[in-house]
């Protein structure tokens, strides 16, 4: 059985989630810090263990000088006192050594001081303050809201232009030009500024190859930022236990060319497409105590009440996503997995807040599926 993190990929190839293969300058800073800390602590370990083993072998207890082999009786007159083998007599005691005391005080203090400086510099690099959006800044501003057990993404600004639409579970970002071109003044960085919030319990946003782990805490706003020049899919996972389905709260970040991102942005910002082939399905979706009670779809009359409740993902462009249920199910084009999810989501994600729709007549379920499959 594949792990949930592999299910997030919905592809046959296994994704790299190692912090030692960074794909952004921020992740590279974290990698360098991790290597430094491992080198320092590894050196301390080797020194301490070396002293322990040296002491064990150099000063191990042996037979007293001149003692006969264990198989022979000692041939000494009764009047001569000889310490028996295995004597527990104390060796000479040494009290205090100023050089040693200075060494074991100064060395740890110096190590801690160096680590404080390096960690401070790394935090400065990976968590800078977010500037205000301005025209031509090439930056993407996104509000990330952690919910049990899915991710809500509100795209606020891109390149100084306000958007304000909401999507779920799959984060799309534009790639920057290469670091060499940016440093030479020939390229453009496209920073991603994330504002992190929680709607219920503590979560933690972590895509190892792009940035460090940052918590989403109820009543508090945290921030993180990064950019990457490498296109592709990056996967991660909520890194803070948040309930029974914590392990199935997965992350997918799609880094794509600016042209592809802008095309995706235009499509996502548009209202739901009208499909004349599925008017009955839309009626099933919108009726009372059905999908529209929780799921907003932009351009329909249910959008404001459902969005205000905030219970469930925005489905305006549901079929533009590669996965369902926060990355654990492939969103196949035929809708087989989507149909199974709608009928009984508890089979895939026990305890999730979506109710099963087993009671729907087959004809209504077919109409509903045609409508959902039209939301591209």
Q: DSSP letter string over 328-342? A: TEE--TT-HHHHHHH
Residues 139-153: what's their mean pLDDT? 95
Instruction: State which CATH number among 3.40.1370.10, 3.30.420.40, 2.60.40.420, 2.40.10.480 fits the domain covering 279-373.
Output: 2.60.40.420
Question: Is residue 7 scored above 70 in pLDDT?
Answer: no
Q: With contact defined as beta carbons under 8 Å apart, do 23 and 16 qualify?
A: no
pLDDT of residue 1: 40
Selection from 146, 352, 346 nearest residue 239 by Cα: 146
CATH architecture entry for 4-8+130-269? Sandwich (2.60)
Domain-wise residue ranges, the chain: 4-8+130-269, 279-373
7 φ, ψ (degrees, to nearest 5): -65, -25
What's the alpha-carbon Rg for the chain, to the nearest Å?
31
Please give the DSSP secondary-structure letter assigned to residue 319. G
Degrees (nearest 5) of the Cα angle 147, 148, 154? 20
Residue with the bigger pLDDT between 308 and 275: it is 275
Kindly state the helix (H) or strand (E) to which residue 26 belongs, with its residue range: helix 25-58
Distances from the Cα of 49 to the Cα of 3, 54, 243, angstroms: 37, 8, 41
**Four-CA torsion 245, 23, 322, 223, nearest 10 degrees:** 50
Pairing outcome for strands 329-330 and 323-324: antiparallel
Residue written as tokens 């399905």?
281
Mean pLDDT rounded to a whole number for the chain = 86
pLDDT of residue 310: 66
Q: How does residue 8 score in pLDDT terms, banded at 50, 70 and 90?
A: very low
Assess whether the region 4-8+130-269 and the region 279-373 belong to the same CATH fold: yes
Whether this prediction's pTM lies above 0.75 is answered by yes
Residue 317, token pair as written in the block: 């462009």
pLDDT of residue 87: 56
Selection from 232, 241, 211, 236 nearest residue 223 by Cα: 211
164-203 burial string, b = 16+ CB within 10 Å, else e?
ebbbbbbbbbbbbbebeebeeeeeebbbbbbbbbbeebeb
Percent with pLDDT over 90 in the chain: 60
pLDDT of residue 267: 94
- pLDDT tens across 43-52, in order? 999 999 999 9
pLDDT of residue 62: 67
Q: How does residue 6 score in pLDDT terms, banded at 50, 70 and 90?
A: very low
Residue 83, token pair as written in the block: 């310490």
Residue 122, token pair as written in the block: 């790394």
pLDDT of residue 293: 81
184/287 Cα distance (integer angstroms): 58
Residue with the bigger pLDDT between 66 and 328: it is 328
Beta bridge partners of 192: 140, 226
């Amino acid at each position: 059985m594949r792990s949930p993190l592999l299910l997030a990929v919905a592809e046959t190839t296994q994704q790299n989630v190692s912090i030692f293969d960074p794909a952004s300058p921020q992740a590279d800073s974290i990698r360098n810090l991790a290597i430094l800390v491992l080198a320092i602590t590894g050196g301390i370990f080797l020194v301490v263990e070396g002293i322990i083993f040296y002491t064990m072998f150099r000063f191990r207890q042996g037979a007293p000088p001149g003692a006969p082999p264990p198989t022979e009786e000692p041939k000494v007159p009764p009047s001569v006192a000889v310490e028996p083998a295995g004597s527990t007599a104390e060796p000479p005691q040494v009290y205090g050594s100023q050089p040693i005391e200075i060494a074991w005080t100064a060395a740890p203090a110096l190590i801690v001081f160096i680590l404080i400086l390096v960690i401070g510099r790394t935090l400065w690099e990976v968590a800078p303050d977010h500037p205000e959006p301005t025209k031509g800044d090439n930056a993407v501003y996104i509000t990330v809201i952690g919910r049990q057990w899915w991710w809500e993404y509100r795209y606020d600004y891109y390149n100084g232009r306000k958007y304000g639409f909401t999507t779920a579970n799959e984060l799309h970002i534009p790639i920057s030009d290469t670091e060499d071109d940016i440093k030479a003044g020939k390229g453009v960085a496209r920073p991603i500024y994330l504002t992190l919030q929680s709607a219920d319990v503590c979560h933690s946003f972590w895509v190892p190859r792009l940035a460090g782990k940052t918590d989403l805490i109820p009543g508090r706003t945290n921030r993180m930022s990064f950019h990457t020049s490498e296109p592709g899919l990056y996967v991660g996972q909520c890194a803070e236990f948040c309930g029974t389905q914590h392990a199935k709260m997965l992350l997918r970040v799609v880094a794509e060319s600016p042209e592809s991102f802008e095309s995706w942005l235009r499509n996502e910002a548009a209202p739901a497409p009208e499909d004349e082939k599925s008017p009955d399905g839309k009626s099933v979706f919108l009726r009372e105590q059905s999908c529209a009670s929780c799921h907003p779809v932009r351009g329909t009359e249910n959008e404001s009440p459902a969005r205000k409740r905030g219970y469930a993902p925005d489905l305006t462009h549901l079929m533009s996503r590669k996965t369902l249920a926060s990355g654990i199910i492939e969103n196949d084009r035929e809708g087989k997995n989507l149909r199974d999810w709608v009928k009984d989501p508890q089979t895939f994600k026990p305890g999730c807040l979506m109710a099963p729709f087993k009671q729907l007549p087959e004809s209504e379920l077919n109409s509903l599926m045609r409508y959902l499959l039209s939301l591209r």
